[in-house]
Chain A
């Protein structure tokens, strides 16, 4: 560090100017953040290899040699199963309730999707699909591969040979220990406040423990979960992290492809509106509250089914809702950081505001200690 508290090891090692990492599914957000001095990480799990390659090249065209990365949801576990057998396990009560939901929502039947790819199902394909995506990252020499769920340990050596950095998102200290031992370059400590598949440990508890674990190693730690401002950035650096990993705050930026009505709902939301609901998949996913998440909590609603049954049960009606653009019933993954979003802004402005606020806080703290 050169006296600037924001010039952390992340900046030294990756060539960014501000230790703010932005996870988003919109490539325009990634380019804007990297160009503003942060690091954009593209959430690319849903992309097929040719789509992923195209997005990587687009980003590189916009940002030159500035740092960026790609996040993939590498699996950590799976079960073998037969869809026909599973279908018989869905109770009639649940089918009746979903028909009731469809009726209440007013969603008309939509045509079945035309782009279902049979090679994108089954557990052999799950692993093979991850491999194909990783191969694209190697071929394109993406600077950073971030593993959003499973351990990236098996791929670290090859990635390093290709000149790539490997990051891993963890929700528990023991996962961090395994990743540090395996030699990941960055561990992202993801607390309970996060959107999507949040961990069970709070950010303020998780980060210092993992920072301590990484002491004496080459692994850097980023704080994630509930980060929306310069206050969080400053606090994270004070806890020993090399920066912050953020996701929710980019949903309402100009560049984000999030629907405008969802951006407005995020701005209008209270922290309690980032709810954990099992109603989409059977697994708890932190998301923006909607009529969909509410109706599954009403009296008379059945308990949600385990994954993958819940998804099989509700996929059609969720598609009908989306096709009909029923705004009150639609949602997006979002963390408790929604409370810090008060306007739709350019992504670069969000980066600069976080940096300015954090610097101001550090200066204030320095002045206070000098006069104490």
Chain B
């Protein structure tokens, strides 16, 4: 489905993309412990979280508070040591790595701090990457790429390589890549961290637009209070618990 279409909340046609309580993310009793050798390092401790469908939430907190770990668990990149994770109607707790990868490709749109575009591919090819995992025809893929780039206002930069673009433009291409598959939720890890104020504003404005106009749920980790203010909900994580 193209990004201009409103999300109908369905997940593989098997569920409504919600966890039964109107939330798109439901975390229960999440504990995450890392180990340095045999020494346990608790990062998240008994955390519960509900993110309503269609919300734009910002998660703040000091370095080492577990923000990125929480984001990785929501995005299906990491598993909790204890607790259950339900996102967009799917229980991620018992999914295999392969199932999680497939689920991510259909459900999650990623926006990273350092854009993470592939330098040898053009803007259009970078945006097309997630579509290679679908069975779409080349013509259909091109159509969707053009739509996604139009949403981020970079249609004219389609054939530019990342090195030929500014940081703000690169991040907008990354957002186009995140939405091209029409994900149910967009997770953003410090999306404005590497940008100047003006570019950061543009990116945040775009994210607001995706949330308000296209109904995308956005969960954003940020250090930047100005960025957090643009979200409809601000949460704070400290020492592994939400405060």
Q: Do A and B come from one complex?
A: no
